[in-house]
């Protein structure tokens, strides 16, 4: 069944709204690939692996529960476990049982993982600056922050993706 653009059941977008939406979708599609491709070439890490290492680097004792890492990275536990297995094979992360909860598993950033993150960070930050930060005026960047905050409130009302690293 074809839906009519005059269907009263759906509040259709205006032409300007469609144009903005299409550009926004293009950014959502292109930016992750650009960041991932650059990290793979420069450091052998995927963007997701980099994020996992970065989150661990910010935690006390460079250690977090796998469930927290999965929640914060919007990954399923199986996906995160697969990625952590790859990072473990490279000596970047180690897993061990959580002392406070025997059912949980912790992940810890190793010295080698911290070194890999430190080696990858300058190139990654350079690209983030080039593609996003420096492409915008300071006012536009503040607007991006405001817009992101509003959208995150809709998409992540519990703040799972934006909570500080647990102490």
Query: Would you place residue 1 in the very low, low, confident or very high pLDDT band (cuts 50, 70, 90)?
Result: very low
User: 14-45 pLDDT, tens per residue?
Assistant: 999 999 999 999 999 999 999 999 999 999 99
Higher local confidence (pLDDT), 57 or 1: 57
Using only C-alpha atoms, what is the Rg of the chain?
19
pLDDT, position 46: 97
User: 104-163 pLDDT, tens per residue?
Assistant: 999 999 999 999 999 999 999 999 999 999 999 999 999 999 999 999 999 999 888 877
pLDDT, position 114: 98
**Domains of the chain by range and CATH?**
36-155 (1.10.10.10)
Q: Is the pLDDT of residue 77 over 50?
A: yes
Task: Count the Cβ atoms, other than its own, within 10 Å of residue 80.
Answer: 21
Rounded CA separation 120/137 (Å): 26
Mean pLDDT value of segment 36-57: 97
pLDDT, position 8: 65
pLDDT, position 84: 98
- Whole-model pTM: value is 0.87
CA angle 73, 135, 129 (to 5 degrees): 50
Could you list the beta-strand ranges (E) of 31-166.
63-65, 93-97, 105-109
pLDDT, position 159: 86
pLDDT, position 11: 87
């Amino acid at each position: 069944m074809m839906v009519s653009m005059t269907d009263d059941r759906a509040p259709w977008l205006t032409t300007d709204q469609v144009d903005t939406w299409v550009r926004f979708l293009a950014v959502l599609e292109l930016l992750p690939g650009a960041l991932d491709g650059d990290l793979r070439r420069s450091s052998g890490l995927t963007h997701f692996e980099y994020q996992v290492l970065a989150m661990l680097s910010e935690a006390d004792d460079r250690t977090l529960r796998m469930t927290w890492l999965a929640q914060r990275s919007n990954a399923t536990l199986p996906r995160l476990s697969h990625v952590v297995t790859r990072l473990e094979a490279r000596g970047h992360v180690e897993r061990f049982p959580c002392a406070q909860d025997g059912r949980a598993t912790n992940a810890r950033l190793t010295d080698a993982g911290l070194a890999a993150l430190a080696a990858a960070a300058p190139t990654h930050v350079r690209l983030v600056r080039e593609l996003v930060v420096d492409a915008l005026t300071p006012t536009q960047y503040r607007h991006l922050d405001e817009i992101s905050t509003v959208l995150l409130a809709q998409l992540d009302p519990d703040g799972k993706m934006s909570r500080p690293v647990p102490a």
